[in-house]
């Protein structure tokens, strides 16, 4: 199909999946449990980081973790005591173990002491004086910031990807989509305003890459950061202001329809 036909088809698929009915069986349902911005950020962050494996398991483990936080993630992160951390010593999701969760709690506690929003953790200093800083800089900055405390565990670094490591950063890009996009459809939250939807990079995994290659909007064989950039560049030719809305179409076709 030509460019106009492709755009029409993918726009139709976006409309099909970017609906409140999508939320129930997707990890984005986790932050939708909450109203307070910081609760949404924390719940969404953990749900995104846990997003490998089946969606049912991701949702189950996210709910389990939030239950250990008394289903008040921001209050727990902000005000917990040392004795409260013992309850996490048996928590595990795939390779994410108690060492990892304790570091996540520690760095989030540190961050929210000085910041109202987790968005600030993605903003390198140069973004204060320039507009449209590449999201690559934001993700690399976040990785370094997340492990900036003394005694940050080396094993936990694998759970926070970075473009400088050539990773697709799929889970962080998905989290950013949730927080940044705001189209009034009810799936993404649009509660972050310092990052623009036009800056976002499309989350990509093997399923999305397979669909993108079938449409000829991805040629790179290796699924890495370069592939994420190539795909997003092609999606920007379809919608310059909101290229990542097509994540709904590519994900739906790849994972739900097995296209």
The encoded tokens of residue 39 equal 């609760």
Residue 259 confidence (pLDDT): 86
| Integer Cα distance of 18 and 14 in angstroms | 6
Whether 195 contacts 201, CB under 8 Å: no
pLDDT digits (tens, 9 = 90+) for 206-224: 999 999 999 999 999 999 9
Residue 126 confidence (pLDDT): 63
Helix residue ranges, H only, the chain: 3-17, 20-23, 37-49, 55-68, 73-79, 98-114, 135-146, 170-180, 206-214, 225-236, 246-251
| Integer Cα distance of 4 and 131 in angstroms | 31
Closest CA to 20 of 28, 8, 10: 28
pLDDT class of 83 with cuts at 50, 70, 90: very high
pLDDT class of 249 with cuts at 50, 70, 90: very high
The mean of the pLDDT values for the chain is 96
CA distances from 160 to 66, 76, 189, 259 (A): 19, 22, 22, 30
Whether 76 contacts 85, CB under 8 Å: no
The encoded tokens of residue 239 equal 């919608």
Report residue 203: phi and psi, to 5°: -60, 135
pLDDT class of 129 with cuts at 50, 70, 90: very low
DSSP character for 94? T
| Integer Cα distance of 24 and 42 in angstroms | 19
| Integer Cα distance of 175 and 107 in angstroms | 18
**Sequence ranges of the domains in the chain:** 3-256
Beta bridge partners of 93: 96
pLDDT digits (tens, 9 = 90+) for 3-54: 999 999 999 999 999 999 999 999 999 999 999 999 999 999 999 999 999 9
| Integer Cα distance of 249 and 253 in angstroms | 6
| Integer Cα distance of 208 and 216 in angstroms | 12
CA distances from 89 to 72, 86, 153 (A): 19, 6, 15
Residue 169, SS3 per DSSP: coil
């Amino acid at each position: 199909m030509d460019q106009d036909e492709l755009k029409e088809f993918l726009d139709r698929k976006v409309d099909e999946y970017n609906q409140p009915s999508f939320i129930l069986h997707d990890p984005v349902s986790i932050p939708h449990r909450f109203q307070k911005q910081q609760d949404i950020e924390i719940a969404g962050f953990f749900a995104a980081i846990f997003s490998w494996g089946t969606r049912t398991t991701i949702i189950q483990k996210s709910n389990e973790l939030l239950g250990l936080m008394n289903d008040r993630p921001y209050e727990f992160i902000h005000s917990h005591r040392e004795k409260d951390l013992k309850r996490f010593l048996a928590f595990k999701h795939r390779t994410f173990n108690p060492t990892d969760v304790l570091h996540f709690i520690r760095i989030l506690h540190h961050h929210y002491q000085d910041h109202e929003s987790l968005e600030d953790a993605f903003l390198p200093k140069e973004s204060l004086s320039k507009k449209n800083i590449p999201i690559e800089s934001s993700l690399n900055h976040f990785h370094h910031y997340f492990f900036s405390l003394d005694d940050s565990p080396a094993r936990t670094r694998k759970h926070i990807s970075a473009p400088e490591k050539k990773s697709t950063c799929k889970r962080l890009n998905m989290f950013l989509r949730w927080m940044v996009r705001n189209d009034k459809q009810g799936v993404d939250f649009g509660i972050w305003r310092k990052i623009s939807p036009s800056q976002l990079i499309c989350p990509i995994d093997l399923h999305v890459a397979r669909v993108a290659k079938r449409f000829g909007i991805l040629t790179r064989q290796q699924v890495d950061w370069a592939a994420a950039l190539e795909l997003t560049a092609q999606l920007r030719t379809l919608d310059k202001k909101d290229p990542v809305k097509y994540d709904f179409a590519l994900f739906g076709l790849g994972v739900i329809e097995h296209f």
